[in-house]
Structures are given as structure tokens and as C-alpha cells.
Amino acid sequence: MSVTSRVAAPHVTRKAPPFELGKLPYAEDALAPVISASTIGFHHGRHHATYVKTLNDMVAGTPLADRSLVEIILAVAGRPDQQVLFNNAGQVWNHDFYWASMAPKGGGLPKGKLRDKIDSDLGGFDNFKKAFTTAGNTQFGSGWAWLCLDAGKLKIVKTANAELPLAQGMTPLLTMDVWEHAYYLDFQNRRADYTAAWFDKLANWEFAAANLDKGLTPHRSKRS
């Protein structure tokens, strides 16, 4: 099976097991006051770390033991008998992507090609903001809101649990975690307050722009 650049992102460097818990791209308190150091500590140091450990345990000694994280996800996506493995592999990838989707003093307005694509594909920045935060607010239970590139067009999608757009052939550009452990210590049940603050103050538009550039550049990766 060949994997195209449409299912990868610039930050993904996890080549093969055993996988390690990646370091945060900022200090644990760098996203405060929107997301506290306490939330980051539990989220990254416990939830994310558990996904990594479980994934390593599950693939050890199997035919997937020498596959990259993306290759593992694609190999087991849509297979009911591999749902637990998919959940853990997907959540490792999702969390790596989530940490990179935020930046201290982020938010504001995107620039350049990304802003132009938002205007042309999503009806302008205000419409985009409303649609993206609505996706996060209306995702029932646990899940994610995503800005993606799909067949050359920007698209906003939401996924449940560990599901992720790359398994559906889309290129993720940015994601917001709406599992309760991502915000409950800071916002309790006020998810809408979290999504608004996340979008206005943390969204990493430079990361999204880099992913857009990669997604618009056609090439094929090594054979999996």
C-alpha cells in the first residue's frame, strides 16, 4: 500500500515502535490561563502517556512492530477486530497533533495562503470561526474538531473518540481536543467557553499554514 502526503503532516516523526511520549513544544504553564499547567500535566503526562504505553505493548512481537505510527493507523482503520489498537494508535497521533496545534499567544488572524483559502473555501474568517467552534461544541461526548484539506478544499469536520481525518484520506491542518479531560479542570462543563478561548488565544496558524503547504504539494512517500 502506498501512503501519500495527504495522510501525513510535517511534525510526524514517529518512524517505528517502541514509540516514546513526545516532549511538549512549550512549558506546561505556557498556555495559561486558557489551559492550566495542571490540565497539561494530567493530559500529557497521564492520558497521552498511557496511549503510548498501551500502543507499544499491543504491537510488540506482531507484524506491525516495525511499522510507523501512520502505517499502523492505516493498517487497522475500519477493522472491528483491531478497534482497541486503532484507538490507542489514533490517540497517540491525535495528541501529538493537538499539542502542535496550539501556541502560547496564539490565535488572532491567519495570514497568507491559509487566510486566502479560508476566505475562498469557508466563506471568510468569521464563518470559519463559527463553524469550527460549533463542530467542537456539538461533538457529542468525546472527540475532536478539525480543519482539514480534502481534495484541495478546506473542510471542517468533527470526529468521535480516536477517529481522525487522515484515516479518511484527508490532510489535517489543525485540531482541537474536546474530550472532557482537555478542559474540565479549567472550564468544568462550559465547553463553549473553552472552544472560544482556544480559538481566540491558542490556535497555531503557523502550524496550520505549514500543513496546508505540505498538503498542496503532491508527492508520494515510501512504500509502506
| Per-residue pLDDT, 4 | 28
| 177-197 confidence digits (pLDDT tens) | 999 999 999 999 999 999 999
| Per-residue pLDDT, 223 | 32
Counting residues of the chain whose pLDDT is more than 90, the rounded percentage is: 88
| Per-residue pLDDT, 217 | 74
Residue 149 pLDDT class (50, 70, 90 cuts): very high
Of 69, 70, 66, which Cα lies nearest the Cα of 4? Answer: 70
Q: Are 14 and 76 in contact (CB under 8 A)?
A: no
Average pLDDT, the chain: 91
Give kind and range of the element (H or E) at residue 136: helix 125-138
> Residue 94 pLDDT more than 90?
yes
Q: Which DSSP letter does residue 23 get?
A: P
- Taking each helix axis from N to C end, the angle separating 125-138 and 112-122, rounded to the nearest 10 degrees, works out to 70
Region class of 121: left (phi > 0), else alpha (psi between -120 and 50), else beta: alpha
Residue 17 pLDDT class (50, 70, 90 cuts): confident
Domain boundaries defined on the chain:
112-216
pTM of structure: 0.90
How many Å apart are CA 181 and CA 51, to the nearest integer?
14
> Residue 9 pLDDT more than 80?
no
> Residue 8 pLDDT more than 60?
no
> Residue 133 pLDDT more than 80?
yes
| Per-residue pLDDT, 3 | 27
| Per-residue pLDDT, 44 | 98
Architecture of the domain made up of 112-216 = 3-Layer(bab) Sandwich (3.55)
Residues near 46 by beta carbon (within 8 Å), at least 6 away in sequence: none
